């Protein structure tokens, strides 16, 4: 019940295209859903996060879509650029003082 | 502003040798602190987390231990390294002032190779 399932494992997108990464969770108590971006040899960086009071959150080219009934959330990267090539992790936790549960990551490659 | 430091950045150690990795956070107080391990091309495995000095929660029983001797210092140790301890070790903190303890911020990592 503590798992967060992330798909796909890897993704190749043309420059200018839309990258979509999906995550699903089981624990209905989860109410905080962040996405992290990690470049090779670096620590993950918090990219964007959402709570269940909204169904969508947008920051620049990055959008989180959240479907509470389906227990799913996704990251959309609009106008994908080669600089977006990285590994993306979704995560979930119970709001408050609890550790994050991470998905296994998606390796995104944006090709020109 | 807050910053997190990890050292060393890279480390090559023989099997059976001891290990000590250090993590410090600046610019905040009473942070939660976390140790993660990331195997090559794999996900993030939470090893330990701490909500205060001397308070350590272990997520995965293994060859490693953690200590928090000071509020903003977190140490990962091993008495005898195994080949399987190789990986990228990441320290993280949460509890930025005015923000939730859920928001975690990662350090630059330590690349450990056990030969």
* Smallest Cα distance from B15 to chain A, Å: 23
* Closest chain B C-alpha to A10 CA, distance in angstroms: 11
Contact (CB, 8 A) for B89 and B109: yes
Q: What does the pLDDT look like over A23-55, one tens digit per residue?
A: 999 999 999 999 999 999 999 999 999 999 999
Mean residue pLDDT of chain A comes to 95
Rounded-to-integer distance, Cα B104 and Cα A93, Å: 11
Residue A33 pairs in a beta bridge with: A50
Average pLDDT per block of 10 residues along chain A, 112 residues long? 90 98 96 96 96 94 96 98 98 89 96 94
DSSP A69: T
Closest CA to A96 of A43, A48, A32, A46: A32
Cβ B101–A32 below 8 Å, yes or no? no
- Provide the pairing of β-strand A86-92 with A106-111: antiparallel
Characterise B98 by phi-psi region: left (phi > 0), alpha (psi -120 to 50), beta (else).
Answer: left
Name the residue in chain B with its Cα closest to that of A9.
B42
Q: Which chain A residues have a beta carbon less than 8 Å from that of B100?
A: 32, 95-96
A100 Cβ under 8 Å from any chain B Cβ: yes
């Amino acid at each position: 019940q503590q798992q967060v399932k992330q798909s796909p494992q890897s993704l190749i997108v043309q420059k200018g295209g839309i990258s979509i990464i999906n995550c699903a969770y089981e624990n209905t108590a989860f109410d905080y859903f962040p996405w992290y971006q990690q470049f090779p040899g670096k620590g993950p960086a918090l990219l964007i996060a959402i709570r269940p009071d909204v169904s969508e959150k947008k920051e620049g080219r990055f959008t989180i879509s959240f479907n509470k009934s389906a227990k799913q959330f996704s990251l959309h990267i609009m106008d994908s650029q080669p600089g977006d090539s990285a590994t993306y992790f979704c995560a979930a936790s119970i709001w408050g003082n609890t550790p994050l549960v991470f998905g296994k990551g998606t390796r995104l490659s944006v090709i020109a | 502003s807050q910053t997190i430091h990890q050292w060393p950045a890279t480390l090559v150690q023989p099997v059976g040798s001891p290990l000590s990795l250090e993590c410090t956070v600046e610019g905040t107080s009473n942070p939660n602190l976390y140790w993660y391990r990331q195997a090559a091309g794999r996900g993030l495995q939470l090893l330990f987390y701490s909500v205060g000095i001397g308070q350590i929660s272990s997520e995965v029983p293994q060859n490693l231990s953690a200590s928090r001797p000071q509020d903003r210092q977190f140490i990962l140790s091993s008495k005898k390294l195994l080949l399987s301890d190789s990986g990228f070790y990441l320290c993280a903190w949460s509890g930025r002032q005015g923000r939730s303890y859920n928001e975690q911020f990662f350090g630059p990592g330590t690349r450990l190779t056990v030969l």
